[in-house]
Each structure stands twice: as C-alpha cells, then as structure tokens.
Amino acid sequence: MQKPAASPRTIKDWLKQLDGQLLPGTVDSIQMLRRALADSNKSRRELADLMQDCPALALSLLRAANSRSNGLVEPTESLEAAISRLGLTRTEALLNRLPAMTEAELPRALRQIMLISQHASQQANGLFAGRLARLWHEIHWGSLLFLAPVWTLLAAHPELFDAWEQRVLVKGESAQKVERELLGVPLLQLCLALSEHWCLPEWISQGYSLLVNDRRLLVKALHIARNNEHPLQQQQCLDDDSHLRRWLTQPANSVLLANCLAISAHYAWSSPHNLRWQRLTGLFLQTPLDTLQQLVHQQAVNSARASPTGDLWHPAQALVWPWSERHLQAKVEPPKPVSVSEWRQHCTRLLAQPSPFSNVLQLTDCASQALQACGMQRALILLADRNHTRLMTQQHTGLGKSAAGLSLDPQQSQLLRRLLSAPGQLRLGPSNIAQYSATLPGTLKSLFPSEHLLIRSLAANNRVVMLIFADHNGSAFSDASIQGFGKTVQCIERALASFASRGR
C-alpha cells in the first residue's frame, strides 16, 4: 500500500502535522476516567494506574506537563507527577479533548502498536523493575511510551503499518529505503525528533538517539553479546572498553531493550533480530541466554493475560506453536476460482484404465494439479516406505522450500501412526486444533500455520501408501471445498490402485 498523496516529506512538516494529531481513546476508558476524576477519594497514584488503559491520555498529559511553554526546566518522568503538575481540572480538560471511539472504530494498526507497547511495558517491569526498584517510574512509563511517536503517526496514517510490515519484515526490503518512500525520512529520526519536541521522558530520547547517532556503540555491544556461552570472555571484552562498559550498565537501556524485544517478537521469536536483542538483554542482566528466554516468554504470557487481544496479534500466541513459527506471512492473492474443466481433465486422467502413468512421480504430479484445480492453495503429498518407517515428500505446492526435502519418522507422532494404520480423513479446525496440535510434528505445523487443515491417508492393496495435507492458506473451508477435496482424493486413491495393479 502506497503512502497518501498528502503525506509530509520532511521532519519539519511531520512535526507540524503530528503535533496537532489527537489520539483517540475508547468510549469505555474515557467514561471510566471521567468517573475516576470526579471521585475525590482517588489518589494521584490510583488515577495514574487507571490511565494506563488509556495510553492516549497518558501521552497527552506528559506532553502538556513537559511543555516548554510552562517554563519548567526539569521534565516529569511519571504520570503521577504530571497529574500533580497540571491539576485535576486541566487533566479533565485534556481527557475531554480526546476523540471517543468504540473499540471497533479505532484503527487496527493503532490498536496493534499500542498492544506492542503494553507488551514492552510488561517485559520492562518483569525483567528490570525488580532489580532497579527505585527507578520503577522511569522504567514503567519510558517503556510504555517509547513508541508513542509511532502511535501518533499511525493515528494519522494507519495504512503505513501494514505497508511497513509487509515490505520490511516479510519481504526483507531495506528499512531505510521503504521509510524514505513512505515517509520521506527515516522512521527513527522522526521518532527522535518527536520525542525531543514533546519532551517525553529522557530515557526515550536516549534510546532513539542511540539508534540514530551512536549505532557503532550498539554494534560493539551486540558483537560481545553473541558470545553468550562464554561470560568470562564477555567480561574481559567489557573490561577492555571502559566506555562501552559504562554505557551498558546504564538503567536507561532497559526501556530500549524491552521495546526491541517486543517489536522483534511481534514478527517471530526465532528471528535473528529477536535473538540479538535477547543476547544483549542477557548481557545487560548478566543472565544466561536460556534463562533469559524463559523470563521473556513468561512475561509475554503475563502480558497476553493482562491485555485481551481480540482480533490483534500477541507474540505469546506463537509460544504454543513450533519455535520457528512466525506471525507475519507474505500476503497471498485471493484464491483462484475452482476450474471445473481443468479439475475434470486431471481426474479423468487419474481414473483412466489402464493407468497412463509410467511412474509414481507422474501420478503424484497429476494428483497435485488436481488438488490445486479443486481450490487447495497449499498441498503436501507424502509417500510412505514399505515398512512405514519413513514419510518423504513427493509433491508440494504453495509451501516453502523446506517442504521439498521433508522426511518424517512416523514413530515420533501419534497422529501419523494413526493415519498410517488405516485410510481415513481428518479435518482440523478451531474446535479440535488444540486436541491434535501436540500430536503433529513441528515441521508440519510450521508448513501449515493455521487452524484449518485437511489430512487424508490413502491406501493401495490394503496398505496406506500416501498422506495428503491441504488447506486454503489458513482460511476456513466451505462445504463445497470439502466436497471437492473428497472427490479429488477418491480419484487419486483409484489411480493408486490402478497403478499398483498394472502389468498383472
């Protein structure tokens, strides 16, 4: 998706537009806060805690409290202090300025980025706040508001989120190239300018300044962090570079680390970016990588429990899938209409007597084309050896390169053993995916990361010889598609029987 024609193209113009952009809040949260502000029994601390559920107001309050027009030199770092500085009357006035929307009316991109911020705040509180208790306010509000410049950007241009995700995270294009095309300026430079212009908590500006102006220092730290299996060598490297050692021990780094962990996990737990930030966090905390990963996963689960996701994605959802599972996939074209004539042509060939196929490869190639013609966008055909000790890929369509050399041991999967024991069909969906997910090999789940999957085992001469996995790129099946799949595999099974009896 391309940028809107009216989008600014310079830092100055972006500051001018986003400075006047109001973030919307949900109707429920705004009404709840109005009641709380009218309650004289509520303390400033209680009000600040309640405002965490309305990030738009939290940002508005801090911007107003730290505005240079107030003539104050020392900016406040916490929402509680901001409320005290502004007073309840002005706090209520700022609340009344916020556009009130229902949850469904809020742009999905804005809700998603705020969920990432809440995840980052949970990571910061769980990983760092206990060790740096006296700095709890700075850690909590800095980590929650670190992405506030992006909140405002997406409130004005929500279409940019999907475009950036697909081009940078999925397709691997250069972030700077994409951002210059979409925004005219690098995103991190814009975030730094906004955080300084709004006088956000100092640790936020420090984090962006590091990413923009001092990347060499960060690269040196990441390089040392890679050697996580040898902590003594890591310490020796830090001892040799006193400047790097002093920087690494700064508490302000907790805000940057928490947000980078949350952002990279949004794409995939096993991505190189996520692993880099995990290693650096482990170096910062002097914690082994495996221990750090357990802590990070635990905080992700806590975050998901505290923040209902609805139609949004939370990385904790991926923890029940294989380690290689990722949230973002390349967007696919809408399913092609079923080609009845093409499907009939393939099925006619499968049903021909005697068998027109000279070898199994020809038969399975025709079977794969028949599955595509009946509407299956992803399909995998596995052949079993004579003793059912190995399943090997024979044909695949719509899947990654890893599907080509797939080799599975059925003895390692209760479900595969069951499918090989007798011909049959299994339809996976939201109602039974939890029951069968644990019995499917991880490699198959990573090839078909969805809740909707059809599995069929086919026999020849009373012995299962083939397994077929197929889906609609993760979307739900219609009754027509189920019937089409059933008729297609019947044709394939008859072709197997005919091929097995050739020459007799």
Q: Which of 66-70, 326-330, 366-370, 388-392 has the lowest mean pLDDT?
A: 326-330
The pLDDT, as a whole number, for residue 1 is 37
**Helix (H/G/I), strand (E/B), else coil: 425:** strand
Res. 208 pLDDT band, cuts 50 70 90 = very high
Tokens found for residue 387: 């003793």
Mean pLDDT of 225-242: 90
Q: What is the pLDDT of residues 301-315, one digit of tens each?
A: 999 998 877 788 899
Contact, 112 vs 312, CB < 8 A? yes
Residue 180 has pLDDT above 70, yes or no: yes
pLDDT of 42 above 50? yes
Mean pLDDT of the chain: 88
Amino acid, single-letter form, for residue 129: A
**Could you give the CA distance from residue 233 to residue 89 in angstroms, rounded to a whole number?**
57
Q: What is the mean pLDDT of residues 22-43?
A: 92
Q: Please give the model's pTM, rounded to 2 decimal places.
A: 0.67
Q: How confident is the model at residue 5 (pLDDT cuts 50, 70, 90)?
A: very low
> Buried b vs exposed e over 435-467: b needs ≥16 C-beta within 10 Å?
eeeeebbeebbbbbbbbbbbbbbbbbeeebbbb
Q: What token pair was written down for 98?
A: 């916020």
Q: Which residues, at least 6 apart from 466, have a Cβ–Cβ distance to it below 8 Å?
A: 364, 381, 382, 383, 384, 394, 457, 458, 492, 496
DSSP-derived secondary structure for 366-409 = HHHHHHHHTT-SEEEEEEE-TTSS-EEEEEEESS-GGGTT-EE-
Across 154-191, b (16+ Cβ under 10 Å) vs e yields bbbbbebbebbbbbbbeeeeeeeebbeebbbbbbbbbb
Number of CB atoms found within 10 A of residue 259's CB:
26
**Which structural domains are found in the chain, ordered by start?**
340-500 (3.30.450.40)
pLDDT in tens, 396-424: 988 877 788 889 999 888 899 999 999 99
Confidence of residue 126 (pLDDT cuts 50, 70, 90): very high
